[in-house]
Amino acid sequence: MAMLGNLGENLTKTMKKLVGMSVIDKKTIKEVVKEIQRALIQSDVNIALVLDLSKKIESRALEEEPPKGITPREYVITIIYEEMVNLLGGDAAGLDIDVKPYKILFLGLQGSGKTTTIGKLCRYLQKKGFNPAVVCTDTWRPAAYEQLRQLTEEMQVPLYGDPDNKDALDLAQKGLKEFKNRKVIIFDTAGRHKQEEDLIAEMDTLDDIIQPTESILVIDGTIGQQAGEQAKAFSQATDVGSIIITKLDGSAKGGGAMSAVAETGAPIKFVGTGERIDDFELFDPERFISRLLG
């Protein structure tokens, strides 16, 4: 698949090889584990995580007896699948929109894909029958409001913003009032690259005013393992509830980003897989790994 660079291709190849092997023994298991290691390291997954995973796969494959009716080969495949799902955090989390208004605060550095992702989430929610509204509190980037306006207009999503108002907190308050009867309100926030401390301080005050039901941090998947550090930095400063990882299409480093974030314990709820509005999916580790293994 086009996601995560060659990771899917390499893993599929390895699994095919495993299926074609005439015997499954210590030597072939070690060979398969080596290939999985190589594929994950190429995808920027942290070496310690890779070693831990391969140790688990190898020892389970060598020691555990397959349950009745399952061949050793099938069982090795199951073990690989289970351990890789665990690496990505296990179960799918999704959004549970159980209060009204469900207020989502979007965080993320500039360029991470935050604005695009807001559009994608609006489309996703519309398909589920919710009518989201968006509030633009990004007063730092003049083009932010315009970008959101175009995006929301196409989808007929109501937008509150005022490019002349430079007070993010005031915008948040007015937006809250404007959309208080909506089921879902999404707040876009500023995301500058520089002066990260100021940005995080502003997020903190916005957080107090909006009292979000959920804060979602958008992270660019092409930064690889560094995504773990970024998730930690934001969650120390604000209450990050969940993560969306973008740009998994084609990026060779996406596997590193996903595993590093999963390791921090913050749930990955959605992933972005392209520039188009529908290139977005609920993140379900089981489905995701099934597709990667082919």
* CA-to-CA separations, 129 to 134, 140, 262, in angstroms, rounded: 16, 33, 29
Which residues of the chain form contacts with ligand GDP (CB under 6 A)?
108, 110-116, 191, 246-247, 249, 272-275, 279
Q: Which residues contact 165 (CB under 8 A, 6 or more apart)?
A: 139, 171
Instruction: Report, in Å, the least distance between residue 247 CB and ligand GDP.
Output: 4
Q: 134 pairs with which residues across the strands?
A: 159, 186
128, 198, 140, 196: which is closest to 168 by C-alpha?
140
SS3 call for 40 = helix
Q: How far is the CB of 199 from ligand GDP (least distance, A)?
A: 12
Shortest spacing between CB 27 and ligand GDP, in angstroms: 41
- Distance of closest approach, residue 47 Cβ to ligand GDP, in angstroms: 26
> Closest CB to ligand GDP among 46 and 115?
115
Rounded to the nearest 10°, the torsion over CA 260, 263, 267, 270 is: 30
Report which of 66, 65, 60, 67 is spatially closest to residue 29, judged by C-alpha positions. Answer: 60
Minimum separation from the CB atom of position 106 to ligand GDP (A): 9
Whichever of 71 and 150 has its CB closer to ligand GDP, that residue is: 150
Nearer residue to ligand GDP within complex by CB, 119 or 241:
119
CA quadruple 89, 94, 100, 105: dihedral sign = positive
Output the smallest distance, CB 172 to ligand GDP, in A: 17
Q: Is 162 helix (H, G, I), strand (E, B) or coil?
A: coil
Nearest to 180 by CA among 126, 98, 101: 101
CB 135 within 8 A of CB 185: yes
Q: Which is nearer to ligand GDP, 10 or 222 (CB)?
A: 222
Question: In this complex, which beta carbon is closest to ligand GDP, that of residue 72 or of residue 250?
Answer: 250
In the bound state with ligand GDP, the residue whose beta carbon lies nearer, of 56 and 291, is 291
Task: Decide if 117 contacts 246 (C-beta within 8 A).
Answer: yes
What is the closest distance, in whole angstroms, from the C-beta atom of residue 93 to ligand GDP in the complex?
A: 19
Judge whether 244 and 219 are in contact, CB under 8 Å: yes
DSSP symbol at 3: B
Minimum CB separation of residue 256 from ligand GDP in Å reads 16
Task: Compute and round to an integer the Cα radius of gyration of the chain.
Answer: 21
Q: Which residues contact 128 (CB under 8 A, 6 or more apart)?
A: none
Would you say 58 or 255 has its CB closer to ligand GDP?
255
Which is closer to ligand GDP, CB of 54 or CB of 189? 189
* Percentages (nearest 5) of helix, strand, coil residues in the chain: 50, 15, 35
